[in-house]
Amino acid sequence: MPRDTTRTAKLYRMTMPDHICPFGLKSKDLLEREGFEVEDHPLTTREETEAFMERQGVDTTPQTFIDGERIGGYDDLRVHFGKADPEAGDTSYQPIIALFSVAALLALAVAWLTLPTIFAWRTLGWFISISMVLLGLQKLKDIESFSTMFLNYDLLAKRWVRYAYAYPFIETGAGLLMTAMLLPWLSIPSALFIGTVGAVSVFKAVYVDKRELKCACVGGDSNVPLGFVSLTENLMMVGMALVMLWIELA
């Protein structure tokens, strides 16, 4: 949508001494970046805010009006300017993209400090093991939420619930050991086991049973769809374990 540098938008947002609505600030910033002059209407008391919402028949603030038409809150404003897809719901690959990007940069940083060239097989190995650590950390933030989501599709966890609680520790521990190249007798079977069970579980849930679920790969509050990403996570662990096993046996 082309920018409009002449129009004015009215913004009603909560601005109290003990609370300034962050979505109001985001709405104001977005409008200004889109070239609008913002006619700001701060709602400075709880009574004023509730009276405004009652008049407009809405349950939340902020509320933006353009050309006399109520656009809505911050999310509605993003849709209005084409910065969000109204059909996409809450599904997002952003968390996993950010995680894998950071893992790749960390692997390159370690390789830069320790290897003659950053383009080496060991760099790829560090990328996988660091990814395992970061993915495990996301699960460890809230094990209860992770285990609840995990139980929707993991075949072993459905039979033995405690496995859902153990999984984040196994993944994180195996990733740390593989990064340091320590205790391969422990890290290799651990990664091979959880990776294989996970890959089979995801494949069955998504490609056999055709279920539409959220992936617990980045924690229990994930909006990442179960499918290719989670399958890739598990296959990376399996591949890393097999390569390390081959190195140990060579």
pTM confidence score: 0.78
Q: What is the 8-class DSSP label of residue 214?
A: B
CA distances from residue 103 to 107, 125, 175, 238 in whole angstroms, order as listed: 6, 11, 12, 18
pLDDT at residue 91, as a whole number: 65
Determine the straight-line distance between the first and last CA of the chain, rounded to whole angstroms. 59
> Quick one: 128 exposed, middle or buried, by C-beta within 10 A (0-12, 13-18, 19+)?
buried
pLDDT at residue 216, as a whole number: 84
Write out the two tokens for 136.
């495990």
Residue 165 has phi, psi (to 5 degrees) of: -80, -30
- Count CB-CB contacts under 10 A for residue 94: 10
Task: Per residue of the chain (250 residues), give pLDDT as tens.
Answer: 454 456 899 999 999 988 899 999 999 999 999 999 999 999 999 999 999 999 999 999 999 999 989 999 999 999 999 887 665 556 678 888 999 999 999 999 999 999 988 888 899 999 999 999 999 999 999 999 999 999 999 999 999 999 999 999 999 999 999 999 999 999 999 999 999 999 999 999 999 999 888 888 888 777 788 888 889 889 999 999 998 999 888 7
> Quick one: 187 exposed, middle or buried, by C-beta within 10 A (0-12, 13-18, 19+)?
buried
Strands 8-16 and 37-43: parallel
pLDDT at residue 53, as a whole number: 95
Q: CA-CA distance, 230 to 125, in Å (whole number)?
A: 18
Write out the two tokens for 170.
């196994």
Q: At what angle do helices 143-150 and 121-140 cross, to 10 degrees?
A: 100
Picking from 190, 174, 181, 176, the residue whose alpha carbon sits closest to that of residue 122 is 181
Instruction: Give 42-98 as a DSSP string.
Output: EE-SHHHHHHHHHHHT-SSS-EEEETTEEEESHHHHHHHTTSS-TTSTT---HHHHH
Q: Domain limits of the chain?
A: 8-80, 94-249
- Helices marked H in the chain — which ranges? 22-33, 46-56, 74-80, 94-114, 121-140, 143-150, 155-159, 162-180, 184-203, 228-249
Superfamily of domain 8-80: Glutaredoxin (3.40.30.10)
